[in-house]
Amino acid sequence: MKSVFILLLTVIAGSAFSQGFIAAIGSDDIGVILNNPATIVLESGDTLKGKLSSASLINNYLKNVTLKLADGSKRKLDAAEMKTLTVKASALAKMAMMNESANSIFRTIKTDFNSIINREYIVFEQALRATKKDKPAMMQLLNPGFDHVIKVYADPNANETMKLQSGDVAITGGADKSYLFVKSGEKAVIVKKGKYRSNFDELYADCPDMLTAFEGDKAKFKDMAGHVFAYDQLCAK
């Protein structure tokens, strides 16, 4: 079993994953989640259901929302009142998760990635902030479905790579240069493109086989979704 485990990690390590996280919604894109069915779990433990009539997103932090309830009334909620917000994704909001080469790897380990990744909903959660760990904030979860140990969120300070556009359509680029990783709800780490090797060693130190399989230049920033997936499926207990 141990040899099979190492073999699978080695296969994953030798493959190109490209970007595999859900693309973060920006303040200009907030319209894609409005008027869609939504469920909000409050910090009090209560659950509200309805449709989002408005939402405010600033620097990747969800500040407040207004939920239209079934009886037609509206309730405005600040971020501090919410634990999770789950919004049904419209066709416009659904993002392609992994490229074909990555999907072939999941077939190799007899796993259907489409059954793991949750593309039906856009999720915001209260999460630790790397700079103010005692003050959580509502952020978008970018790896729903393989987030059992490591949760990946849109980094509020992330800078996107340069985009090449044709009219209003982005052809290339647009990938975030950094993400916020929260491991087991205890450690919040900003994962940056230029420092991913050190981030990798810190995040996966408890799985020596990961460090061996992805040693040296195999730990590439563009493949980190595959690393999170591999750790979630093969290392985490």
- The per-residue DSSP string of 106-151 comes to HHHTT--HHHHS--SEEEEEEE--SS-TTS-EEEEBS-TTS-SSEE
Q: What is the sign of the dihedral through the CA atoms of 217, 191, 11 and 99?
A: negative
What is the rounded average pLDDT of the residues 188-210? 87
**Does any domain span residue 186?**
yes
Which residue shows structure tokens 């990747």?
60
CA distance 214 to 209: 8
How many domains are contained in the chain?
Answer: 1
Which domain, by its residues, includes 159? 1-23+141-237
Q: How many CA atoms lie within 13 Å of 192's alpha carbon, on the beta-carbon side?
A: 9
Cα pseudo-dihedral 150, 156, 161, 162, rounded to 10: 160
**Does any domain span residue 16?**
yes
**Does any domain span residue 158?**
yes
Which tens digit of pLDDT belongs to each residue from 144-187? Answer: 888 889 999 987 765 543 333 333 433 333 455 788 999 886 77
Which residue shows structure tokens 């087991």?
184
On the question of pLDDT at 84 being above 90, the answer is yes
pTM of the full predicted structure? 0.76
**Does any domain span residue 87?**
no
**Does any domain span residue 115?**
no
Six-digit token string for 58? 């600033």
